[in-house]
């Protein structure tokens, strides 16, 4: 018995500290499990009955402080944690002095740490560390806090003092009540309650039925207040209250209502809740499945990658989806928030009341009837969820309590919305705002209004992707005679189909369409059943987020993909290089080089007579029109316009299949790269161009010159020989000298001709070489300055595109 | 008492105004354009369908159009007023897709012709034929009006059952608006569930704005809440300034509901009495008719200036677009000329050729290179101008229409046209050169192609082609060279001008095609003032 109570008690404290510790250093969200695990180990270390009940609540405590840390209120959260601790500390101290032997003993136990309280002691230590981390806690308070943590350990170890403790329980609770009067001491009261309630039950089961609810009533409304204030401590306050109550049966919304109700009913309900509480698994925050999580991550990544390219207006929706998904993920996954929306006079409030079993929402003939949303929660812990909708506490209700209804709709949070089509514009604004925050929507239509353009064009069509989290109910079927209801329902189905809303028929996922009458109750049971199943599945929040992501992705489609192939083809690259080569005049340069080479070769290999004639000609003619001297290097030798055009063309080609913003980015990259490109090409043309002076000569050139010379010599020899014969100096022999001369005369041109033939090849090679050098240099320059940045930009686009594919869920 | 004094001058002014309105166009997708287009269509429909025929023939029967939201029970109301099922009523929405006009047999000739609602084809569908909606000619896009004759309708008035004003079918909506605009008496039907809906209230406000003869019917009121609902509706009407509008309440009766039979005569008796009174009592009749007609005439005072200002906005936007094109082409043209003078054509290939000329390059090759270079310079200028235009237009909401998109985004056509123009210039230059050479003595005459190449180089090469000028002078004499250069230069300027102008025109062609002018604004206002004078 004592062991049980102790274990009940200890982990609770440990958890509080656990929470405090967690809030110290802000951690990335996502690991509520860590805190839970810590709590779990500590309680499981003792390994007795109550640990199973405590563990989840410990997890909640941890995760709630996680919330505080990750929601950017780190400082506040930390201070809250500190306060919490501080608040808890004196109480604990009181308790300790009241129940346990004293500080010394508690400390000692904590330090010993190997008895049954060893783990807990360690936890208490850790808790103290956490408090150390929380800078706002004062020294002595920390001390007191440590005591409070240890006190329980001490209490536990002292098995003999158990009866005394049991007797203390009411007292302690009273102390809690007293403290409850102060605003700052919420945590205090709660910790107290924690300590008190379980023990009370542990000791005297029969008492818990009537005592503990009443006891715990007072602190709870405050928890509600603070929840409404929306601060972190309130959240933790909730959690700890819940923890104390074994399984989170305490809800602010409930309390708010119950305060106004009579106390007897409250006690009765609380008792029932307690009975249920043991079985209820308190879930942690909303957990999404892997694919959806990775899609959300991809979307976040995508938004980050696109921020520089797209204006914030385009990305606003995706950002909003991410924000909403994140804030929804931090909240309970156990609950499903369902809004009832519809036109004025369709019977939204009537349906709401029918589902709740009690008149909560005002109904009437006055149009529009409901002016602000009303929430109704079937189970506890939905306070933060309703906070998110911005529904004030006075508009939160509980359904009438009946066991079967509770079991069926466990986890449902129903929100009755104002109309969306009346002349009151602020109603529509409210509806639009809340519709983005809820997990599912019940659209209520009636036979008169089911085909309204407003409903279909403004809501159903844009939300067609949310079909899986959509119910469409045709209310007021009692107004329709006989089979007309079927007809209207069919027509409604047809209209929904035309809107693109998938209908959940034949087991396919999609919207559920029902006919009912809130007035007569016809069909309500069916809706209840469907709704119950829907809520039990707990898939709605995830589906809603998935549909949101789908919708955001669909709307972003035009800025991420065009459906055409994007990229810079090899062809376009080659064309760019060719255009640049044109701009520097590679072809012309090559041809000129070839011709110059050939000309020189011809001149070199020509017959001496020809050379003589040319030389004579040159001397006689004025040198106009001929570049004798190599002109000074031209400035702006590169054709600017061609470079510009080349860049423009390649940018156009590269951005052909791209969505507008990315095409613009590619174009900008190209233009940026093209700055200074002409100058670079100018410089390069000088460098890569032919070296000044005469072109080099091939190796066989001297041979050719020699042959030409020998031909000339042959002519001369033949001539001399003939002359010799004529003057009688030599024996007359016509044959040989004539032959020699003829050979010389014929051979000269032959040599010249063959040289010319032979020079063609090298000349072409030389010219091509010159052209190639220019071409390659220009292409290299262009690649480095323009193509590479463009390719990089394309790569970025591809990355984004892939990311988008992931968001869409195909990649 | 409102009186209606119709003189022929007024009718003339009105038909002139009608033509002006019909001529007004709002093609640019500006913020107010869709609204202006709708206003124009509505005004035109009202003039054609109602005002002109009414002023021409004041003795024609009154037309009362029953309008309201889907499911308000309009058809049931008409059927009950007539005492016979003339219009299909049912539970499926929208029920009435074909408007039905009911009149006394004696009045039939007023409505069988094209006097009112000339855009609707008249049909006489036999009664009690089920499944006939498959055969209705309305399905092929042609809008039809069914005309029914029933003895129980008092002579001098016709009832028209219009489609829903907030129908899912957009055509139905616009048809409903058009029909309501054609009415002498607007009967607005709403229900207990709907009386606070936003859409019908818009219509009511319009009715107030036009100061038409208006009747409201609160239909389908469950009898236990009749007084409360009707009081609240009355309060809403009073708040909207429509407190004096005749208001009739029809309770929801089992036999009325959902396509069943007709309402008992007692349920609609008061409305019927009101209608009969207005149809037969000359004073009331005159009053009802004149009030609506005067209201519409009065409304012109605000509606026409609205249209005129929309037209002015259109013109201003068009002017901005044109200016953007002009300034882009002007600045590019200036840049082009600057480049030409700087010798940008004589660069790259052409420069290399020129350096090799005449030793390693023929005159033909040099000319080719020059011409090609000139073409690329021109193309560059044109595409740059287009790019500027695109950039400027991207910021203009008026340019966001597919009709104004660049007809030649790749510039391939422009390239072709420019190449053609440049080749023509070359040919003419060569002709000039030949003429010049011919005048020189046969013996020393240089090759005309060389002369042409030198002239082209001198014209296009700017400073760096000074030696070309010298060479030219050496070949054909200083005088001839000067003359040739002058002529060639003029020719070049002419061709450049032509090319740039043609490209600018091409770019402006779609905008010109939209035909946004400044005149409609003034004309609309003028027509209005003539009308005002004639009243």
pLDDT digits (tens, 9 = 90+) for A771-798: 888 888 889 989 899 999 999 988 988 8
The reported pLDDT for the residue numbered A284 is 59
pLDDT band at A282 (very low <50, low <70, confident <90, very high): very low
CA A503 to chain centroid, in Å, comes to 30
Please say if the pLDDT value at position A234 is more than 60.
no
Q: Which two tokens mark A338?
A: 């369902």
pLDDT of residue A151: 37
Q: Bigger pLDDT: B224 or A99?
A: B224
B349–A639 C-beta distance less than 8 A: yes
The confidence band for A519, taking pLDDT boundaries of 50, 70 and 90, is confident
Give contacts of A644 with chain B, Cβ < 8 Å.
Answer: 380, 384
List B residues 200-229 in contact with A (Cβ-Cβ < 8 A): 201, 220, 222, 225, 228-229
B71 Cβ contact list (under 8 Å, min separation 6): A447, A448, A449, A450, A451, B93, B95, B164, B191
Instruction: Give the residues across from B218 on adjacent strands.
Output: B190, B249
Can the peptide bond before residue A368 be classed as cis, meaning omega within 30 degrees of 0? yes
Q: How many residues does chain A have?
A: 811
Inform me whether the pLDDT recorded for A172 exceeds 70: no
Q: State the Cα–Cα distance between residues A736 and A744, nearest whole angstrom.
A: 12
Mean pLDDT of A260-276: 39
CATH 3.40.50.300 residue window(s) in chain B: 57-125+140-280
Using CA atoms, how far residue A700 sits from A187, A601, A706, A758, in Å, is 105, 11, 10, 10
Residue B226, pLDDT > 90, answer no
Looking at residues B427-444, what average pLDDT do you find? 83
* CA nearest to B332, candidates B393, B383, B396: B383
Q: What six digits make up the tokens of B59?
A: 């003795």
Q: Which residues contact B311 (CB under 8 A, 6 or more apart)?
A: B24, B26, B36, B520, B521, B524
- At residue B378, the pLDDT reads 92
Distance CA B161, CA A138 (A): 81
- Helix (H) or strand (E) segment spanning residue B375: helix B363-394
Neighbouring-strand partners of residue A290: none
Average of per-residue pLDDT values in chain B: 85
pLDDT class for B442, splitting at 50, 70, 90? Answer: low
HSE-CB for A175 with a 13 A CA cutoff: 27
* pLDDT for residue A609: 77
**Which is higher by pLDDT, A246 or A642?**
A642
The CB-side HSE value for B412 (13 A sphere, CA atoms) comes to 2
A480 CB near a chain B CB, below 8 Å? Answer: yes
> Which chain A residue lies closest to B192 (C-alpha atoms)?
A365
- Cβ-Cβ contacts under 8 Å between A and B: the total is 195
A611: closest CA of chain B, how far (Å): 17
Q: Is pLDDT larger for residue B251 or for residue B378?
A: B378
pLDDT for position B305: 92
Instruction: Give the closest residue to A6 by CA, choosing from A37, A55, A51.
Output: A51
Q: For position A635, what pLDDT does the model report?
A: 67
Q: What is the pTM of this model?
A: 0.70
Least confident of A140-149, B90-99, B489-498: A140-149
Question: Which residues on adjacent β-strands are paired with residue B216?
Answer: B188, B247
Predicted confidence (pLDDT) at residue A805 exceeds the cutoff of 50: yes
Give the pLDDT band of residue B327 (cuts 50, 70, 90): very high
Rounded-to-integer distance, Cα B482 and Cα A33, Å: 94
- What pLDDT shows up at residue A512? 87
Which residues numbered 476-505 in B keep a CB inside 8 Å of some CB on A?
A: none
- Inter-chain residue contact A422 with B197, CB threshold 8 Å: yes
Q: A747 pLDDT band (50/70/90 cuts)? A: confident
Distance of CA B425 to the CA centre of its chain: 44
Q: What is the predicted pLDDT for the residue at A620? A: 67
Percent of chain A at pLDDT > 70 equals 62
- Whole-angstrom distance, CA of residue A525 vs CA of residue A536: 16
User: Residue B122 forms beta bridges with which residues?
Assistant: B145
Both tokens assigned to B155 = 């002579």
Tell me whether residue A364 is exposed, middle or buried, using C-beta atoms within 10 angstroms of its C-beta: 0 to 12, 13 to 18, 19 or more: middle
Two tokens, residue B143 = 């809008």
Distance of alpha carbon A648 from alpha carbon A673, whole angstroms: 11
Side-by-side strand order, sheet with B213-221 = B121-123, B144-149, B100-103, B157-161, B62-68, B185-191, B213-221, B247-251
Tell me which of A221 and A684 has the higher pLDDT.
A684
pLDDT of residue A612: 82
Q: Average pLDDT, stretch A739-766?
A: 84
Question: Could you give the angle at which helices A32-46 and A118-133 cross, rounded to 10 degrees?
Answer: 150
Per-residue pLDDT, averaged over A382-408, amounts to 80
Q: pLDDT at position A67, please?
A: 39
Residues of A in contact with B471 (CB under 8 A): 624-625
Render pLDDT for B293-322 as a digit per residue (tens, 0 to 9): 888 888 888 889 999 999 999 999 999 999
Please say whether the beta carbons of A489 and A515 come within 8 A. Answer: yes
Q: Render pLDDT for A633-685 as a digit per residue (tens, 0 to 9).
A: 566 778 888 898 899 889 888 888 888 888 888 889 998 988 888 888 888 87
Average pLDDT over residues B90-115: 81
Q: A488-513 in b/e burial notation, b at 16+ Cβ within 10 A?
A: bbebbbebbeebebbbbeeeeebbbb
For the segment A123-156, what is each residue's pLDDT rounded down to a tens digit? 434 434 433 433 433 444 444 343 433 333 333 3
Q: How do residues A346-372 score in pLDDT, each as one tens digit? A: 888 889 888 888 888 877 777 777 888
The confidence score (pLDDT) of residue A257 equals 37
Predicted confidence at residue A343, as pLDDT, reads 87
pLDDT band, very low/low/confident/very high, at A249 (cuts 50, 70, 90):
very low
H/E run at residue A515 = strand A512-515
Is A596 in Cβ contact with B359 (below 8 Å)? yes
A259: tokens are 């305060």
| Alpha-carbon separation of residue A782 from A576, A653, B456, B510 (angstroms) | 8, 15, 30, 37
Q: Is the pLDDT of residue A290 over 60?
A: yes
User: Distance (Å, rounded) from C-alpha A180 to C-alpha A71?
Assistant: 27
Residue of chain A nearest B454, judged by CA positions: A625
Q: Report yes or no: A412 and A378 within 8 Å, Cβ to Cβ.
A: yes
Strand partners, B160: B65, B101
State the pLDDT confidence band at B141, using cuts at 50, 70 and 90. Answer: low
- Comparing alpha-carbon positions, the chain B residue that sits nearest to A484 is B91
Question: What integer is the mean pLDDT of B109-114?
Answer: 84
**Closest to B18 in 3D by CA, of B517, B530, B513, B516:** B530
User: Residue B326 has what pLDDT?
Assistant: 94
- Kindly report, residue by residue over A688-720, the tens digit of the pLDDT: 766 655 667 777 778 888 888 888 888 888 888
Tell me which H or E stretch contains B64. Answer: strand B62-68
Please give the Cα distance from B55 to B66 (Å, whole number). 22
Residue from B517, B460, B455 nearest B487 by CA: B455
Is the interface score ipTM higher than 0.90? no
Q: Does the structure show a pLDDT above 60 at A63? A: no
Query: What are the start-end ranges of the H helices in A161-311?
Result: 162-180, 186-203, 205-216, 219-229, 232-244, 252-260, 263-277, 290-306
Average pLDDT on B147-170 reads: 85
Phi, psi for B148 (deg, rounded to 5): -120, 145
* b (16+ CB within 10 A) / e for B334-368: eebeebbebbbbbbbbbbbbbbbbbebbbbebbbb
Q: Return residues 617-636 of A near B (CB < 8 Å).
A: 624-627, 631, 634, 636
Residue A171 reports pLDDT greater than 70:
no
B131/B128 Cα distance (integer angstroms): 9
Residues of B with Cβ-Cβ distance to A365 under 8 angstroms: 192, 222, 225, 228-229, 232
Q: Which residues 418-437 on chain A approach chain B with CB closer than 8 angstroms?
A: 419, 421-425
- pLDDT given for residue B310 in this prediction: 92
Q: To the nearest whole angstrom, how far is the Cα of A650 from the nearest Cα of chain B?
A: 11
Tell me the sheet residues that pair with B102.
Answer: B148, B159
Q: Are B285 and B278 in contact (CB under 8 A)?
A: yes
* Per-residue pLDDT at A806 exceeds 60: yes
- % residues pLDDT > 70 (chain B): 91
The mean pLDDT value for B484-489 works out to 91
Q: How far apart are CA A256 and CA A425, in angstroms?
A: 30
> B450: nearest CA in chain A?
A625
Burial of A181 (0-12, 13-18, 19+ CB in 10 A): exposed
Whole-number average pLDDT of chain A: 68
Question: What architecture (CATH level 2) is domain B57-125+140-280?
Answer: 3-Layer(aba) Sandwich (3.40)
Per mean pLDDT, which range of A208-222, A483-497, B69-83, B378-392 is the poorest? A208-222
> pLDDT value at position B443?
65
Portion 122-181 of B in contact with A at CB < 8 A? 164, 166-168, 173
Q: In whole angstroms, what is the distance from residue B356 CA to residue B169 CA?
A: 76
Residue A54 has pLDDT above 60, yes or no: no
- Per-residue three-class SS string for A110-144: HHHCCCCCHHHHHHHHHHHHHHHHCCCCCHHHHHH
Quick one: tokens of B306?
């609205």
For B391-416, give the DSSP string: HHHHT-GGG-SGGGS-S-TT-HHHHH
| CA-wise closest residue to B469 among B377, B292, B343 | B343
Q: What share of chain A is helix, strand, coil (3-state, %, to 5)?
A: 70, 5, 25
* A 343-372 near B (Cβ less than 8 A): 343-346, 365-368
Residue A453 contacts B where some CB pair is shorter than 8 Å: yes
Listed as own residue / partner, the contacts of A500-506 with beta carbons closer than 8 Å and 24 or more positions apart are: A500/A461, A500/A464, A501/A460, A501/A463, A501/A464, A501/A467, A501/A470, A501/A472, A502/A464, A502/A467, A502/A468, A503/A467, A504/A467, A504/A468
């Amino acid at each position: 018995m004592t062991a049980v109570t102790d274990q009940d008690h200890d982990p609770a404290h440990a958890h509080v500290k656990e929470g405090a510790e967690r809030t110290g250093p802000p951690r990335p969200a996502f690991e509520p499990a860590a805190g839970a695990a810590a709590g779990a180990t500590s309680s499981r270390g003792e390994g007795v009955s109550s640990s199973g009940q405590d563990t989840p609540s410990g997890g909640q405590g941890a995760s709630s402080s996680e919330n505080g840390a990750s929601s950017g209120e780190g400082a506040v959260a930390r201070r809250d944690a500190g306060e919490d601790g501080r608040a808890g500390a004196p109480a604990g101290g009181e308790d300790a002095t009241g129940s346990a032997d004293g500080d010394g003993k508690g400390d000692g136990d904590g330090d010993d740490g190997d008895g049954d309280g060893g783990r807990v002691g360690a936890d208490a230590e850790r808790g103290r560390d956490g408090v150390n981390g929380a800078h706002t806690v004062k020294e002595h308070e920390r001390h007191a806090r440590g005591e409070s943590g240890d006190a329980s350990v001490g209490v536990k170890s002292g098995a003999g003092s158990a009866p005394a403790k049991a007797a203390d329980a009411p007292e302690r609770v009273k102390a809690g009540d007293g403290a409850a009067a102060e605003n700052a001491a919420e945590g205090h009261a709660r910790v107290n309650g924690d300590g008190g309630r379980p023990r009370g039950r542990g000791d005297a089961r029969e008492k818990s039925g009537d005592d503990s609810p009443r006891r715990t009533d007072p602190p709870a409304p405050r928890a509600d207040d603070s929840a409404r204030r929306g601060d972190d401590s309130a959240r933790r306050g909730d959690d700890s209250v819940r923890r104390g109550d074994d399984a989170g049966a305490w809800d602010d919304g409930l309390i708010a209502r119950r305060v106004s109700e009579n106390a007897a009913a409250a006690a009765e309900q609380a008792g029932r809740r307690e009975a249920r509480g043991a079985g209820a698994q308190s879930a942690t925050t909303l957990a999404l499945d892997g694919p959806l999580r990775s899609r959300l991550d991809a979307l976040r990544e995508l938004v980050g990658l696109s921020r520089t390219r797209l204006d914030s207006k385009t990305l606003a929706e995706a950002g909003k989806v991410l924000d909403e998904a994140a804030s929804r993920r931090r909240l309970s996954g156990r609950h499903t928030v369902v809004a009832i929306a519809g036109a004025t006079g369709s019977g939204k409030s009537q349906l709401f009341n029918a589902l709740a079993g009690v008149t909560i929402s005002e109904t009437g003939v006055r149009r529009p009837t409901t002016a602000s949303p009303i929430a109704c929660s079937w189970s506890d812990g939905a306070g933060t969820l309703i906070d998110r909708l911005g529904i004030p506490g006075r508009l939160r209700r509980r359904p009438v309590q009946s066991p079967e209804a509770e079991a069926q709709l466990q986890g449902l949070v129903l929100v009755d919305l104002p109309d969306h089509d009346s002349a009151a514009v602020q109603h529509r604004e409210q509806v639009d705002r809340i519709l983005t925050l809820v997990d599912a929507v019940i659209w209520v239509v009636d036979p008169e209004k089911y085909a309204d353009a407003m409903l279909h064009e403004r809501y159903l069509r844009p939300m067609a992707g949310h079909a899986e989290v959509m119910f469409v109910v045709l209310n007021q079927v009692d107004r329709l005679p006989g089979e007309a209801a079927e007809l209207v329902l069919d027509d409604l189905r047809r209209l929904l189909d035309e809107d693109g809303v998938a209908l959940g028929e034949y087991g396919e996922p999609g919207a559920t369409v029902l006919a009912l009458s809130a007035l007569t109750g016809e069909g309500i049971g069916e809706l209840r059943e469907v709704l119950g199943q829907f809520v039990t599945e707990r898939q709605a929040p995830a589906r809603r987020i998935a549909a949101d992501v789908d919708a955001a992705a669909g709307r972003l489609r035009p800025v991420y993909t065009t459906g055409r192939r994007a990229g810079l083809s090899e062809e376009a690259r080659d064309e760019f290089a060719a255009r640049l080569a044109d701009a520097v005049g590679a072809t012309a340069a090559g041809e000129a080089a070839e011709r110059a080479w050939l000309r020189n070769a011809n001149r070199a290999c020509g017959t001496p007579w020809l050379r003589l004639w040319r030389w004579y000609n040159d001397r006689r003619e004025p040198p106009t029109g001929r570049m004798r001297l190599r002109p000074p290097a031209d400035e702006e030798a590169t054709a600017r316009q061609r470079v510009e055009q080349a860049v423009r063309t390649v940018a156009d080609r590269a951005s052909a299949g791209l969505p507008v913003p990315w095409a613009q980015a590619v174009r900008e990259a190209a233009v940026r790269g093209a700055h200074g490109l002409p100058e670079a090409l100018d410089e390069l043309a000088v460098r890569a161009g032919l070296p000044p002076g005469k072109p080099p000569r091939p190796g066989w050139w001297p041979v050719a010159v020699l042959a030409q010379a020998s031909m000339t010599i042959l002519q001369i020899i033949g001539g001399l020989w003939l002359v010799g014969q004529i003057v009688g100096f030599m024996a007359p022999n016509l044959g040989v000298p004539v032959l020699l001369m003829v050979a010389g005369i014929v051979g000269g041109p032959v040599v010249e001709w063959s040289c010319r033939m032979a020079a063609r090849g090298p000349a072409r090679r030389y010219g091509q070489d010159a052209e190639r050098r220019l071409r390659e240099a220009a292409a290299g320059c262009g690649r480095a300055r323009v193509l590479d940045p463009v390719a990089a930009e394309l790569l970025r686009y591809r990355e984004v595109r892939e990311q988008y594919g992931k968001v869409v869920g195909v990649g | 008492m409102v009186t209606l004094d119709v003189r022929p001058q007024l009718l003339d002014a009105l038909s002139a105004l009608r033509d002006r309105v019909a001529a007004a166009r709002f093609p640019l997708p500006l913020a107010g354009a869709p609204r202006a287009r709708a206003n124009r269509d509505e005004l035109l429909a009202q003039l054609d369908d109602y005002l002109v025929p009414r002023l021409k023939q004041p003795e024609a029967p009154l037309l009362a159009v029953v309008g309201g939201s889907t499911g308000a029970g309009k058809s049931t109301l008409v059927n009950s007023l007539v005492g016979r099922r003339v219009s299909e009523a049912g539970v499926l929405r929208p029920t009435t897709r074909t408007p039905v006009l009911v009149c006394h047999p004696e009045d039939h000739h007023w409505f069988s012709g094209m006097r009112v609602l000339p855009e609707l084809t008249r049909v006489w569908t036999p009664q009690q034929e089920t499944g006939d909606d498959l055969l209705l000619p309305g399905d092929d896009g042609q809008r039809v009006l069914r005309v029914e004759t029933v003895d129980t309708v008092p002579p001098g008035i016709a009832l028209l059952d219009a489609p829903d004003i907030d129908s899912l079918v957009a055509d139905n909506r616009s048809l409903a608006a058009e029909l309501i605009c054609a009415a002498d008496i607007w009967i607005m039907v709403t229900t207990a569930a709907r009386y606070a809906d936003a859409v019908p209230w818009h219509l009511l406000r319009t009715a107030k704005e036009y100061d038409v003869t208006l009747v409201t019917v609160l239909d389908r009121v469950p009898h236990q809440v009749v007084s409360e609902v009707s009081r609240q509706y009355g309060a809403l009407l009073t708040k909207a300034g429509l407190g004096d509008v005749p208001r009739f309440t029809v309770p929801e009766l089992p036999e009325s509901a959902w396509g069943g039979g007709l309402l008992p005569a007692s349920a609609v008796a008061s409305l019927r009495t009101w209608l009969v009174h207005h149809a037969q009592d000359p004073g009331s009749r005159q009053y009802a008719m004149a009030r609506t007609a005067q209201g519409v005439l009065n409304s012109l005072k605000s509606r026409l200036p609205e249209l005129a200002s929309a037209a002015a906005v259109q013109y201003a936007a068009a002017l901005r677009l044109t200016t953007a094109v002009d300034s882009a082409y002007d600045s590019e043209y200036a840049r082009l000329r600057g480049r030409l003078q700087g010798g940008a054509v004589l660069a790259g290939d052409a420069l290399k050729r020129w350096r090799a000329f005449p030793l390693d390059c023929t005159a033909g090759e040099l000319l080719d290179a020059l011409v090609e270079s000139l073409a690329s310079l021109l193309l560059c200028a044109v595409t740059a101008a287009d790019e500027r235009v695109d950039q400027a237009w991207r910021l203009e909401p008026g340019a966001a229409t597919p009709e104004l998109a660049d007809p030649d985004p790749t510039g391939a056509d422009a390239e072709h046209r420019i190449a053609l123009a440049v080749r023509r210039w070359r040919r003419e230059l060569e002709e000039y050169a030949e003429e010049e050479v011919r005048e020189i003595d046969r013996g020393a005459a240089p090759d005309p192609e060389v002369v042409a190449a030198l002239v082209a180089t001198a014209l296009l090469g700017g400073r760096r082609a000074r030696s070309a000028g010298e060479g030219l002078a050496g070949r054909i004499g200083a005088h001839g060279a000067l003359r040739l250069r002058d002529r060639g230069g003029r020719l070049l300027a002419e061709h450049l001008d032509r090319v740039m102008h043609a490209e600018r025109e091409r770019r402006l062609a779609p905008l010109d095609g939209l035909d946004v002018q400044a005149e409609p604004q003034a004309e609309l206002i003028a027509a209005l003032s003539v009308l005002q004078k004639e009243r």
